Amino acid sequence: MSLIRTISEKTAHVGVIGLGYVGLPLAVTAAERGFAVTGLDIDQAKIERLSAGRSYIDAVPDDRLQNVTAAGRFGGTTDFTRLSGCDVIVICVPTPLNAQREPDLTFVTTTAERIARHISAQTLVILESTTFPGTTHDTLRPLLVQSGLALDRDIFTAFSPEREDPGNTRFNTATIPKIVAGDGETAGALAEAFYKGVVDEVVRVRTTQTAEAIKITENVFRAVNIAMVNELKLVFDAMDIDIWEVIDGAATKPFGYMPFYPGPGLGGHCIPIDPYYLAWKARSYDVPTRFIELAGEINTAMPHHVISRTREVLDRSCGKGLSQARVLLVGVAYKKNVSDMRESPSMKLMQLLDEAGASVAYIDPHVPQIPPMRAYGQYSERQSLTSQDVADDHFDAVVIATDHDEIDYAALLTLDCPVIDTRNAMARRDLPLDRVVKV
């Protein structure tokens, strides 16, 4: 049976490598749509949790996971020899930046080398990890050659950028249109056939480089526009104009405008990172990326602006410096109503407050404990306060960094201290603003 027929009839076995915010929703969705799926990850704790029917991703409730597991269509493992039985392999591993803010493809290259050791002939390999144009063709393919199998005859490669949006209740993995491209006509047709069996709409483009560029463009668009409103916030603050009212007013225009909102910095895996991937790649072509780099500078500076304004507010309200202050940080997830902490600006705020000598506590109903990960350093395993803890404590300032709906914002106003609001959370809930400072 040909590979295209195996995929089209959903008798293909699918391997999804990297069971995080992208891989697990994709694996479960593919299983729900009728494919047999093996999820692979190097984190044994994740596999044990999945085997117990417990999800760690908001987008995949326990019941969805348990249903596909009970049906025999999904299972997790750390055993990469299982790749030999897969007809389709999808790579969903992280693509972070290194300490110099340059692309770090270590997870991609290590994964590709693992695949090469175990892959069988007639297999489609798809990269979903966000990266710069050329990665699939110039980095993934040469590593797969180490298998001894022939590209475009035994192994076919494709790229399909992930478009996950944690917390989005309107769109999910199955309903977000999927960009697809293959290295060559056969690979493109195979990838298109696979995703048509998983999602509602597939948009095929000509080359993997184009597909990679589409994802980067989407995130650069957001990063640049968020930087613009962050800069406008500083300008309008100086003019005593409320940026939030400006944006809401401009958003009433039914054409030619799209609202973006300021904040304490950028979070999530994509927007704070992906623009730097394109800027780095552009340098190899001697092409400057002024907008991208300027946007990065503005967005990176926002946590420092929040701390500076907090220092000013404390000085005016109680004559205290940050080194004598007790500060409550509201929200450590990077966006509202999710537990996702990737690149959260709240962690930078916590670090800056700590370095200034402040005593910092946080409350976040979605993150009861900061995960024990190296990225969070000394803050790993720090516990969230409860609402009662907050009521019983004394604070000199409250900083709203993430506007979760579950927070009792009215209660924050009873703490007898200024509230520094980076998200316009208080005004949007029609609460008294006499103690609120919009930052």
For the stretch 165-174, pLDDT in tens is: 988 989 999 9
Of residues 154, 158, 98, 102, the one with CA closest to residue 128:
158
Averages of pLDDT over runs of 10 residues in the chain (439 residues) are 92 98 98 98 97 95 97 98 98 93 95 98 97 97 97 98 92 97 98 98 98 97 96 96 97 97 92 91 95 94 97 93 96 95 95 97 97 87 96 97 97 96 97 95
Same domain, 192 and 235: no
Same domain, 239 and 296: yes
Same domain, 194 and 248: no
CA 28 to CA 198: how far, in whole Å?
10
Same domain, 269 and 156: no
Same domain, 159 and 37: yes
**For residues 128-154, b (16+ Cβ closer than 10 Å) or e, as one string?**
bbbbbbebbbebbbebbeebebebeee
Give the DSSP letter string of 314-373.
Answer: HHHHHS--GGG-EEEEE--SSSTT----TT-HHHHHHHHHHHTT-EEEEE-TT-SB----
CA 272 to CA 342: how far, in whole Å?
10
What is the tally of structural domains in the chain?
Answer: 2
In this structure, is residue 164 part of a structural domain? yes
Q: Which tokens belong to 233? A: 């916030």
pLDDT of residue 112: 98
pLDDT of residue 99: 83
Same domain, 340 and 297: yes
Separation of CA 48 from chain center: 23
For the stretch 316-360, pLDDT in tens is: 998 889 999 999 999 999 999 999 999 999 999 999 999 999 999
pTM over 0.85: yes
In this structure, is residue 220 part of a structural domain? no
| Domain termination site, one of 205, 237, 266 | 205
Residues belonging to the active site = 270
List the domain range (segments joined by +) for residue 317.
Answer: 225-438
| Domain termination site, one of 205, 236, 260 | 205
In this structure, is residue 363 part of a structural domain? yes
CA 21 to CA 13: how far, in whole Å?
21
Same domain, 195 and 234: no
pLDDT of residue 271: 87
Same domain, 173 and 277: no
CATH of the domain at 110: 3.40.50.720
